[in-house]
């Protein structure tokens, strides 16, 4: 049931974000999901672009930080927080168009009966910092353009290599982002990297569910502010039987929910909204213990694990 609602939501928001602009919907330039501004007629822009654009050129000269013009840097950020806080990471698994694209590729793989490749916990842990490094770079590089004289073609560094930029416009019939720009050495470097990465991610997404999300800097940014959100994902440590279903069903192989024992093995509810969690609720659906895993909005339970629900779901399959 929850999976179906999520799929419905993903498809509805895919249409809204990708084509909404053509029908007069404009949701601003601070969306906490990959609604790509390079899609003509999209309803809104991913916040990462605003985060880079507000820093491009003279706008981020250090003097701006101490002037009234800084409000124009802060405003998109405030808008991002206003949109992000009520839904937290539900933006990823329930609304993000690029997430849905990855799910389609996964569906094709499953139809072909090809198993996904598994990543060891060690590899997973090594990859975790990559999204934070990308986030830091996409903020620092525009600052370096404004203040240290870095070549302006380094502007929008993440957008230039983001695989969503060539892939999402395909759904509007636009193939113009599959090229290498021979204008100068910087553009050649960026566009060649973008094409190679797009190829790598297409292969990665095919062989591993939600492969891109492991590297997504927007997920890293959202994780930094998750505590401000009323959205909670808690585990009742005392109730957990340690079956490991949650890790098995997680599209990004999060082991922390399964392994979380609480501080000093004290019983009670522990926050398990980890940095890679996308809020898909697959783990809650597959948990066989009543109320062991709970998604909450303030103190209201949105969805909690239930033996009855799990049995009904898997018996129907």
Partner 1 sequence: MLLDLWKYLILICVPVIGSFGPFLVEARAADHTFWNKDMLHLEFAQMKKHPNGQVSQTFIVHRPENQTDKISVLFQENQRPEVYTVPLDQNTFSIFADKPSSIRLFVFTRAGQTHHVVHTDMVLFGKSRSLALRTLAKPSEAAVLKTLPHIFLVGSESYYWHQTGIPLTFSLKTQFHPLHPVRFHVADNHQIKPLAADTLNPLQFVYTPSHDKQLRQAGSTAVKHNTVFTCLAHDKKLYHLAYTFQLHRSRHAFENYTAGAIALAGGFLVFAGWVIKKRKTPWWKE
Closest approach of partner 1 to the CB of residue 152, in Å: 3
Under the binding rule (CB under 8 A), the answer on residue 184 touching partner 1 is yes
- Cβ distance 226 to 283 under 8 Å? no
Contact stretch for partner 1 (CB under 8 A) within 10-18, 96-104, 196-204, 252-260: 196-204
Under the binding rule (CB under 8 A), the answer on residue 143 touching partner 1 is no
Under the binding rule (CB under 8 A), the answer on residue 314 touching partner 1 is no
Under the binding rule (CB under 8 A), the answer on residue 127 touching partner 1 is no
Q: Which of 1, 5, 7, 69 forms a contact with partner 1 (CB under 8 A)?
A: 69
Contact stretch for partner 1 (CB under 8 A) within 77-85, 95-103, 174-182, 289-297: 174-182
Under the binding rule (CB under 8 A), the answer on residue 200 touching partner 1 is yes
Burial 25-53 (b: 16+ CB within 10 A, else e): eebbbbbbbbbbbbbeebbbbbbbbbbbb
List the structure tokens of 209: 């569910």
Q: Which of 64, 130, 143, 239 forms a contact with partner 1 (CB under 8 A)?
A: 64
155/266 Cα distance (integer angstroms): 49
What residues contact residue 131 under an 8 Å CB cut-off, 6+ apart? 214, 215, 216, 217, 219, 220
Under the binding rule (CB under 8 A), the answer on residue 317 touching partner 1 is no
What are the DSSP calls for 192-248, one per residue?
HHHHHHHHHHHHHHHHSTTTGGGG-HHHHHHHHTGGGSSEEEEEETTT-----HHHH
- Name the site residues for partner 1 (rule: CB under 8 A): 57-59, 61, 63-64, 66-69, 71-72, 113-115, 117-118, 151-153, 155, 176, 178-184, 187, 191-192, 195-200, 202-204, 206-207
């Amino acid at each position: 049931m929850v999976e179906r609602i999520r799929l419905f939501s993903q498809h509805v928001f895919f249409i809204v974000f990708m084509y909404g602009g053509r029908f007069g919907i404009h949701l601003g330039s601070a969306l906490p999901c990959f609604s790509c501004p390079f899609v003509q007629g999209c309803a809104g822009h991913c916040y990462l672009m605003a985060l880079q654009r507000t820093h491009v050129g003279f706008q981020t000269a250090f003097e701006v930080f101490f002037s009234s013009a800084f409000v124009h840097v802060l405003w998109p950020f405030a808008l991002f927080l206003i949109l992000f806080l009520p839904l937290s990471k539900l933006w990823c698994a329930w609304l993000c168009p690029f997430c849905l694209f990855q799910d389609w590729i996964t569906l094709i793989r499953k139809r072909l009966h090809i198993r996904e490749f598994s990543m060891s916990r060690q590899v997973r842990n090594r990859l975790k910092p990559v999204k934070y490094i990308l986030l830091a770079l996409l903020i620092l590089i525009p600052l370096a353009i404004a203040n240290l004289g870095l070549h302006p073609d380094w502007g929008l560094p993440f957008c230039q290599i983001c695989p969503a930029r060539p892939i999402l416009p395909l759904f509007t019939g636009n193939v113009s982002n599959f090229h290498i720009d021979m204008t100068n050495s910087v553009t050649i470097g960026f566009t060649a990297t973008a094409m190679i990465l797009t190829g790598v991610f297409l292969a990665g997404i095919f062989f591993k569910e939600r492969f891109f999300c492991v590297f997504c800097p927007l997920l890293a940014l959202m994780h930094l502010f998750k505590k401000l959100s009323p959205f909670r994902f808690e585990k009742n440590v005392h109730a957990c039987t340690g079956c490991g279903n949650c890790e098995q069903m997680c599209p990004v192989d999060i082991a922390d929910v399964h392994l979380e024992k609480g501080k000093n093995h004290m019983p009670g509810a522990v926050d398990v909204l980890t940095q890679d969690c996308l809020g898909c609720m697959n783990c809650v659906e597959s948990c066989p213990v009543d109320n062991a895993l709970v998604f909450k909005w303030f103190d209201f339970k949105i969805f909690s694990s239930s033996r009855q629900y799990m049995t009904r779901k898997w018996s129907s399959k």
